[in-house]
Chains A and B, each alone.
Chain A
Amino acid sequence: MPIEVNGKSYETDEEGYLANLNEWEPAIGEAMAAAEDCQLTDEHWDIINFLREYYEEYQIAPAVRVLTKAVGKRLGKEKGNSKYLYDLFPYGPGKQACKYAGLPKPTGCV
């Protein structure tokens, strides 16, 4: 089921994850979030951008501790925990934020 953004159509998988991560642009993230009643703020974008940077280097989304540590370093220790991330992305930072970032869903025993 493709997603329509600014008149262009993008292929996604059954769960709405972008099929081709190179096609990603911020407007796609916005559209995916809007479809799930999530208003993306600068705080959300901090996480999404970090996920994309990390993915580019390691070809995988960061582990939760890598993510919380990075957030703690960038935004202050009080935000370097999974509670902060779950407040932003209630379906889970790994799965929900990855989706908006155009990355594949981490699957396994998680």
Chain B
Amino acid sequence: MADFDTPEIREFPVIPTIMEGAMSHSSPFIAGEEFQSDMGFPSAENVGDLIDGWKEKFLELMQDKLSKYRSLQVFMDTCVKCGACTDKCHYFLGTTDPKNMPVARQDLLRKVYRRYFTFAGKYFPKLVGAIDLTEDVIKQMYDYYHQCSECRRCAVFCPFGIDTAEVTMAARDMLAQIGYGQKYSNQIIPKIYKIGNNLGLPQPALADTLEGLEEEVEDDFNVKVRYPLDEKGADILLVTPSADFFAEPHVDGLIGYGKVFHEAGVSWTLSSKASEAANFGLFIGSYEHMREISLRIREAAKELGVKRIVFGECGHAWRVAYNHLNTLAGPWDFLDQNYPIPQHILEFTKDCLDRGILNIDKTENDHMTVTFHDSCNIARASRIGSEPGSQFTTPREVIKAVCNNFEDMAPETIHDATFCCGGGGGLLTDDLMELRVKGALPRMTALKHSIEDKGVTHMAAICAICKSQFTKVLPYYGMTMDQIVSVHQLVSNALILTGQGEEADESEDEAA
């Protein structure tokens, strides 16, 4: 299946002995002309070559970014090489490659910055570790900036708060603009514009899929729960990752959202135009694409005449929505100002639980002992509710409200110290499978120990990427793909619909 070894889970997590160049072969497919041009990026004649004048273009772009983003300038100037970040990256811990230490990754760009943008680097490059920008340097940047999931765990531990994710984003954007775009992301984003979502599910396929879900729920519970699409005049627009329509366990979460909305008695709809919460513009560091992707949500909300926007279980989508939706696609003055704009589905569900309007039978989840994987973008870049730390408490409170058995994983691996699933930030692609498996090591270690010590059976997540990534990598570590569940799948299991099973009771009465 794979021509690499899965790292061994140890009794205690260790900082590995470094192995120079251990992942120098790991490089995702470069986007060909057909994908680059859809994105407005240039490409050389042959895939893998740089465009003419790449060096000048790269430095020009860097100058532009340094002047536009004060943060990048500060991150380039500030690092004192204290080493606090070195052992915080899941990719370093899993691959042992020293270039996957966050400081080394940033230094790929920083060394070039020094050479061309600082006095010392211009005249005494060797003294300050400044290097010339060469094709080899570009190649290394492409490889190693695609071994960073932009999870920002290193930033939590940096005494200066240097955000490696922003460095990665800047580098990726500059690379794409000299012909080194990544195929996975650049193939996906145009599908949003053309079809409405990352997967390329056209409206008829969405309608067919949702109709199937309505039948499934009715078959199972004898209650007609609706999964509406493009319904004008609905109160709530649900924007959710397209994986929720397509994959398991994601779809069980979607079923759960629908059941909660049904019981809450609100009118809601999905939109085929905005049938995607994900915003890969963030991953590739492109403000323009982030904005264009966000604007579809605005258009859909206006066309459908909704009053509220609720986001489904998607990590980075919530980061973009929570932090930037107003800047990118606001003002949202046409929505109902009495509700959070936007609102997270967990906030909606928690409110329903708090108000006691959901009939919950926790014993439906008694066959599981659940733990929770904090998704990095939610944990380190947002809240779910208005209180500080609500991004940690809200999901756990919802899980505990619907499950009798909950256990957290080791404290150094949860909340804002959570480890990335290993597949975030635009790396959830088969051509990076070795990286994904190795990068999952810290999370798999924490999970395995919870299984052994606390009897955990399942891990719940609130991010489509995390769910897909764990489905793939759990078997590499001797666990099973169905041990990863959606939080709203747990809600769905425990939620007793009004009228559920009534018909069955009647027929029993008749039989009696």
Chain A: residues with CB nearer than 8 A to chain B?
14-15, 57-60, 62-66, 69, 82, 86, 94-95, 105-110
Chain B: residues with CB nearer than 8 A to chain A?
29, 183-184, 187-188, 191, 197-202, 204-205, 208-209, 212-213, 216, 241-243, 245-248, 251, 278, 314, 428-431, 464-465, 468, 481
- Whether A110 contacts B251 in the complex (CB less than 8 A), given A58-B208, A65-B212, comes out as no
> Which one of A15, A57, A64, A110 has the highest number of Cβ atoms from chain B below 10 Å of its Cβ?
A110
Which residues of B lie under 8 Å from residue A60 when comparing CB positions?
Answer: 199-202, 205
Which residues of A lie under 8 Å from residue B197 when comparing CB positions?
Answer: 108
With beta carbons under 8 angstroms apart, the residue of A58, A94, A110 that contacts B204 is A58
Docked complex Cα distance between A61 and B200 (Å): 10
- B178 CB → nearest A CB, Å: 21
Which residues of B lie under 8 Å from residue A15 when comparing CB positions?
Answer: 430-431
- A86 CB → nearest B CB, Å: 8
For the complex with contacts A60-B199, A106-B200, 17 further pairs of A-B residues with Cβ separation under 8 Å are: A14-B183, A58-B204, A58-B208, A60-B200, A60-B205, A63-B212, A63-B245, A64-B247, A64-B251, A69-B216, A86-B481, A107-B184, A107-B198, A108-B188, A109-B242, A109-B428, A110-B468
Which residues of B lie under 8 Å from residue A57 when comparing CB positions?
Answer: 204
Docked complex Cα distance between A66 and B201 (Å): 13
Are B187's CB and A107's CB within 8 A?
yes
Listed by A's residue number, 29 A-B pairs whose Cβ atoms lie within 8 Å are A14-B183, A14-B431, A58-B202, A58-B204, A58-B205, A60-B200, A62-B209, A63-B201, A63-B245, A63-B246, A63-B247, A63-B251, A65-B213, A66-B208, A66-B212, A69-B212, A69-B216, A82-B248, A107-B199, A107-B429, A108-B191, A108-B197, A108-B198, A108-B200, A108-B242, A109-B278, A109-B468, A110-B199, A110-B243
- A92 CB → nearest B CB, Å: 8
With beta carbons under 8 angstroms apart, the residue of A59, A82, A95, A109 that contacts B243 is A109
Docked complex Cα distance between A107 and B199 (Å): 6
With beta carbons under 8 angstroms apart, the residue of A63, A64, A66, A109 that contacts B198 is A109
- Which residue of chain B lies nearest to A104 when distances are taken between CB atoms in the complex? B200
Are B209's CB and A106's CB within 8 A?
no
The total number of A-B Cβ pairs within 8 Å is: 85
Which residues of B lie under 8 Å from residue A106 when comparing CB positions?
Answer: 199-200, 246
> Which one of A59, A60, A105 has the highest number of Cβ atoms from chain B below 10 Å of its Cβ?
A60
Docked complex Cα distance between A95 and B433 (Å): 14
Docked complex Cα distance between A23 and B444 (Å): 42
- A75 CB → nearest B CB, Å: 17
Docked complex Cα distance between A4 and B200 (Å): 29
- Which residue of chain B lies nearest to A36 when distances are taken between CB atoms in the complex? B1
Docked complex Cα distance between A106 and B198 (Å): 9
- A56 CB → nearest B CB, Å: 12
With beta carbons under 8 angstroms apart, the residue of B183, B209, B212, B243 that contacts A108 is B243
Are B278's CB and A108's CB within 8 A?
yes
Are B431's CB and A108's CB within 8 A?
no
Docked complex Cα distance between A58 and B247 (Å): 17
Are B209's CB and A65's CB within 8 A?
yes
Which residues of A lie under 8 Å from residue B188 when comparing CB positions?
Answer: 107-108
Which residues of B lie under 8 Å from residue A82 when comparing CB positions?
Answer: 248
Docked complex Cα distance between A60 and B246 (Å): 11
With beta carbons under 8 angstroms apart, the residue of A14, A59, A86, A110 that contacts B246 is A110
Are B199's CB and A108's CB within 8 A?
yes
Which residues of A lie under 8 Å from residue B191 when comparing CB positions?
Answer: 108
Docked complex Cα distance between A33 and B307 (Å): 50
With beta carbons under 8 angstroms apart, the residue of B187, B202, B251, B430 that contacts A95 is B430
- Which residue of chain B lies nearest to A69 when distances are taken between CB atoms in the complex? B212
Which residues of A lie under 8 Å from residue B209 when comparing CB positions?
Answer: 62-63, 65-66
Closest 4 CB pairs of A and B: A108-B198, A109-B464, A58-B205, A108-B199
- Which residue of chain B lies nearest to A95 when distances are taken between CB atoms in the complex? B430
With beta carbons under 8 angstroms apart, the residue of A64, A65, A109 that contacts B241 is A109
Docked complex Cα distance between A60 and B208 (Å): 12
Docked complex Cα distance between A56 and B468 (Å): 26
Docked complex Cα distance between A1 and B477 (Å): 32
Are A59's CB and B205's CB within 8 A?
yes
- B2 CB → nearest A CB, Å: 11
Which residues of A lie under 8 Å from residue B278 when comparing CB positions?
Answer: 108-109
- Which residue of chain A lies nearest to B47 when distances are taken between CB atoms in the complex? A14
